[in-house]
């Protein structure tokens, strides 16, 4: 079964330093769940600007771990500049939550 992430970019950044990789993984595990929760709350409370801030904040982490969510993150960011209802952005948000939850489980398993 394939992972929802890749350490290719992490390895490049760290120069293969296993301790640094472990720190990056631990930081991801600590920071991403509350940010995703806050983004979900922002969408649920119809606060596009706050949703944008959390989506934008997480984007570099998703890129670093090669997590394929750029399209959905951009949809959340674009939503903040429209008058579309929150229902229209829910499929992208649900996809982000599902993918992130799977990645978190994979990382926790791989980095006990």
> What is the pLDDT at residue 3?
86
Contact 48, 63 (CB under 8 A): no
Tell if the pTM clears 0.85, that is, is over it.
Answer: yes
88 domain residue, yes or no = yes
44 domain residue, yes or no = yes
DSSP 31-76: HHHHHHHHHHHHHHTT-HHHHHHHHHHHHHHHHHTT-S-HHHHHHH
Domains identified in the chain, total number: 1
Residue 13 is part of which domain span? Answer: 8-110
102 domain residue, yes or no = yes
> What is the pLDDT at residue 26?
96
> What is the pLDDT at residue 84?
87
> What is the pLDDT at residue 109?
93
> What is the pLDDT at residue 7?
93
73 domain residue, yes or no = yes
> What is the pLDDT at residue 42?
96
> What is the pLDDT at residue 4?
92
2 domain residue, yes or no = no
pLDDT, mean of each 10-residue run, the chain (112 residues) = 87 92 96 98 95 96 96 95 90 97 95 80
Output the domain CATH number for residue 42.
1.20.120
1 domain residue, yes or no = no
3 domain residue, yes or no = no
> What is the pLDDT at residue 112?
75
């Amino acid at each position: 079964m394939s992972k929802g992430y890749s350490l290719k970019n992490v390895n490049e950044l760290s120069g293969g330093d296993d301790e640094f990789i472990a720190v990056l993984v631990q930081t991801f595990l600590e920071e991403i769940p509350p940010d995703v929760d806050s983004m979900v709350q922002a969408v649920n409370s119809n606060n596009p600007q706050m949703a944008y801030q959390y989506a934008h904040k997480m984007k570099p982490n998703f890129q670093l771990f090669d997590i394929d969510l750029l399209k959905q993150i951009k949809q959340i960011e674009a939503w903040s500049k429209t008058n579309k209802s929150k229902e229209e952005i829910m499929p992208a948000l649900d996809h982000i939550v599902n993918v992130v939850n799977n990645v978190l489980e994979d990382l926790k398993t791989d980095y006990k």
